[in-house]
Amino acid sequence: MTLPTILSTKRNLFQTSKFVLRRSFGSCQIYLRNLDQPANDSSPSLSSPLQGVRVLDLTRVLAGPYCTMMLGDLGADVIKVEHPEGGDDTRAWGPPFAENADPNDKEHGESAYFLCANRNKKSITVNMKSAGGRQLLHDLVKQSDILVENYLPGKLEKMGLGFKQLAEINPRLIYASITGYGQTGPYSVRPGYDVIIEAEAGLMHITGEPTGPPVKVGVAITDLTTGLYAQNAILAALIHREVTGKGQHIDCSLIESQVASLVNIASNYLIGGQEAKRMGTSHPSIVPYQVFSTKDSFVMIGAGNDGQFVKLCTRIGLDHLAEDTRFKHNKDRVKNRQQLVKLLEKRLQEEDSSFWLEKLTGAGFPFAPINNIAQTFDHPQLKARGLVQEIEHERAGKIKLVGPPVKYSNAKTGIRLPPPLLGAHTNEILSEVLCYSKDKIQKLREEGSIGT
């Protein structure tokens, strides 16, 4: 048992809990610490929120790996289970690849795509179709808190790795399934892909210019949103388990996560019967709130209320617009959107973006340049916050990654482990976590249950 293990009834759960059980990753040891003792005793540090929680990661590509990476960022011990031949699909997605530090290593380096979603994990190669591989996973399940998978519904059950089967081995297991369409329903057997769900679940319909075709978002936003929803559900299930003592099955789908992320667009339809349309960068309910062209490029300007609109008009020398009855209040500006946008853009096109960025500074309303990726990573605020972290990778040498975006005042998060090489920790996990003998590990390798 990991996380705070409650040794009291639900009624006095938080009043009488005094002990924390911690399993040391890779030591086959269990520690019991009395919470009445100071935290700087000889027991393991409790500085990371999920330290001592073990996660079996049976996912690949993005939604699942993104979810488990965030759990790893919080201190969980994440074991990434990969097929011996090739591993996670994204290991081969490139270029670009991080170049190998060793000039004699002629194989392609590590995929930039894989590196972005797999830090703070250890990799083990397992052939789940073999009896030895399945037994190995059963043994890991006995010592794990969470399992995350993104197979089609029913596929793992056929291999003896479904929720009901593993819950018999470990009733406290939290089993999270990430699929395209969920575990039930007429579409449940269909595979899910981010761009397909963007199209099917409304997002692509509202993305793009009004007179242009639908377009996808620049990143796999549905995968990322689903990974965030899954992580949130897992954390809630961990808390629930400490009350009930039982794990549960989490059913998380791309299509439902995407529809839930339509927020006000969904509400506008459900409450007001209002069908959405593509509006480029503009806002359906606020004007002006969009990208405007300047003499040489673009700026984003948002005047979210009447006071901010007055300030905008003053700064760009169009004071009379603030008194124009067509634009005096936001509802008027929404009604007369086209006329107002033309007047604003005509003025903004008279000067370069650099002029306007300086002119609007301190004006009392939000605005921003349209930065490219290089400019984004050169942003002084991101530099000051230390979001980008440089780490040492076994094969690629020093690499830079975007670190965890959330800071804690009384907990430690960050990049503890670089994204792993395929199967790099197989021996370590089998010998130190499962306490398998060298002979047993060699037998598994010879029979093809684990990678070479």
Residues 192-222 have pLDDT tens digits of 999 999 999 999 999 999 999 999 999 999 9
CA distance linking residue 27 with residue 434, whole number of Å: 9
CATH code (residue 316): 3.30.1540.10
Look at residue 12 in the predicted model and tell me its pLDDT.
39
In a domain, 378, yes or no: no
What is the token pair recorded at 7? 């040794």
**Residues in the chain, overall count:** 452
Query: 46: exposed, middle or buried (C-beta count within 10 Å: 0-12, 13-18, 19+)?
Result: middle
Instruction: Give the count of domains, the chain.
Output: 2
The residues that bridge with 31 in the sheet, in sequence order, are 22
State whether 245 and 392 are in the same domain.
yes
In a domain, 413, yes or no: yes
- Please give the residue range of the domain that contains residue 313: 289-293+298-369
State whether 97 and 134 are in the same domain.
yes
In a domain, 257, yes or no: yes
State whether 365 and 415 are in the same domain.
no
Look at residue 114 in the predicted model and tell me its pLDDT.
96
State whether 107 and 247 are in the same domain.
yes
3-state secondary structure (DSSP) of residue 96: coil
| Residues labelled as active-site residues | 223
In a domain, 2, yes or no: no
Dihedral, CA atoms, 72, 75, 80, 86, nearest 10 degrees?
Answer: 50
Residue of 374, 368, 378 whose CA lies nearest to 298 = 368
- Which residues, in sequence order, are CB contacts of 204 under 8 Å at separation 6+? 198, 214, 215, 216
State whether 239 and 346 are in the same domain.
no
Asked if 242 and 6 count as a contact pair (C-beta separation under 8 A), the reply is yes
State whether 185 and 311 are in the same domain.
no
State whether 363 and 392 are in the same domain.
no
Look at residue 107 in the predicted model and tell me its pLDDT.
78
Instruction: Report the alpha-carbon angle 377-75-70, nearest 5.
Output: 50
In a domain, 428, yes or no: yes
Q: State pTM to two decimals.
A: 0.88
State whether 155 and 225 are in the same domain.
yes
CATH code (residue 39): 3.40.50.10540
The per-residue DSSP string of 212-274 comes to: S-----SS-HHHHHHHHHHHHHHHHHHHHHHHHS---EEEEEHHHHHHHTTHHHHHHHHHH--
In a domain, 6, yes or no: no
State whether 179 and 116 are in the same domain.
yes
What is the token pair recorded at 8? 């009291």
* Listed residues 369, 396, 428: the one ending a domain: 369
* Listed residues 317, 337, 369: the one ending a domain: 369
Averaged over successive runs of 10 residues, the pLDDT of the chain (452 residues) comes to 40 37 43 37 61 97 98 97 95 91 79 96 97 96 98 96 97 98 97 96 96 96 98 98 97 98 95 95 94 97 96 96 96 96 97 96 95 97 96 93 94 93 96 95 95 85
